Amino acid sequence: MRVTLNGKIVDTECKSVFELGRGVGGGVNPDGGETVVILNGYQLSKDAGLKDGDTVSFIKKGVMPGRDELESMMAARHTPGAHEKLKAARVAVAGLGGLGSHIAVSLARLGVGELLLVDYDVVEPSNLNRQSYFISHLGMKKTDALKNQLADINGFIYVNTVDAFITEDNAANLFKGYNIVCEAFDNPESKAVLVSTLLSKLPGVKVVAASGLAGFGSSNDIRTRVNFGRLYVCGDETSAAEIGCGLMSPRVQICAGHQANMVLRLILGIDDA
């Protein structure tokens, strides 16, 4: 039979995953506790049968693999068939605050092939309560700080950055060529300008936006909804940041997770929320 082993196609007569590891897999000992074994995106705790077309990864703990092998191992935990679509995708993130920074981290971990990160601001102390930055990033441009983080997470993706304030005049030009754009602004007026501009001037674009994520209300109130066919809105659509109701890390990250997951679904060809 023919299987994919650590990113390479091999022919084997092995009947089980552990047998493959002890043989073609380079003599690893899958049941010795020193090797992570992944079959079709699922980590095994015991042996399993092997069939034609399976994807298997053996990851030795504490050993730094080569570049190609590392990429294969990262992709091994994905659902089969997802990685190639993700690798070919191009996604833009507008605003790199609490939403945008966490969205970008999730997309990098997914292995989205190209990311465009757009922001004009620098990292400030008040950002550290909810945004994906560290004390060492204070004073840095958010584009630079986030790009550095993503390189440490996944060095196999291309990250393009633009330091700019997004307006009605430049939005279409900035995001042209990206079929999916994540709106991740704090300011309601800026949100409205970006969404309306992209939907009116870029007919093929799909916008994943956010509305209603402040405070510490129930996590279950945050949902993803489809509006106007090409607009996906994540949040509870009511809880705005105001006096007595600030932006708190858990709910911000939950909403960012909704946005990143909607991007994943769109890349995989799933249009419903």
State mean pLDDT over 182-203: 94
Spell out the alpha helix ranges (H) of 81-218: 82-87, 98-110, 142-153, 171-175, 188-201
Percentage of the chain lying above the pLDDT 70 cut = 96
pLDDT, tens digit (0-9, with 9 covering 90-100), for 200-220 = 999 999 999 999 888 999 999
pTM to 2 decimals?
A: 0.89
E strands, the chain, where? 2-5, 8-11, 35-39, 42-43, 55-60, 90-94, 114-119, 158-163, 180-183, 206-210, 223-227, 231-235
The torsion angles phi and psi of 234, rounded to 5 degrees, stand at -110, 140
Give the number of other CB atoms < 10 A from CB of residue 178.
23
Distance CA 197, CA 194 (A): 5
Residue found under tokens 């074994």? 37
Residue 63, pLDDT score = 78
Encode burial over 7-23: b for 16+ CB neighbours within 10 A, e otherwise.
beeeebebeebbbbbbe
- 3-state DSSP assignment of residue 179: coil
- The CATH architecture assigned to 83-267 reads 3-Layer(aba) Sandwich (3.40)
The token pair at 27 is 């003599």
Q: Could you tell me the pLDDT band of residue 27, with boundaries at 50, 70 and 90? A: low
Residue 149, pLDDT score = 97
Residues of the chain with CATH 3.40.50.720: 83-267
Residues of the chain with CATH 3.10.20.30: 2-77
CA angle at residue 156 from 153 to 162, to 5 degrees? 80
- 3-state DSSP assignment of residue 269: coil
Query: Higher confidence at residue 141 or residue 63?
Result: 141
The torsion angles phi and psi of 124, rounded to 5 degrees, stand at -120, 160
Class of domain 2-77: alpha beta
User: Mean pLDDT in the chain?
Assistant: 91
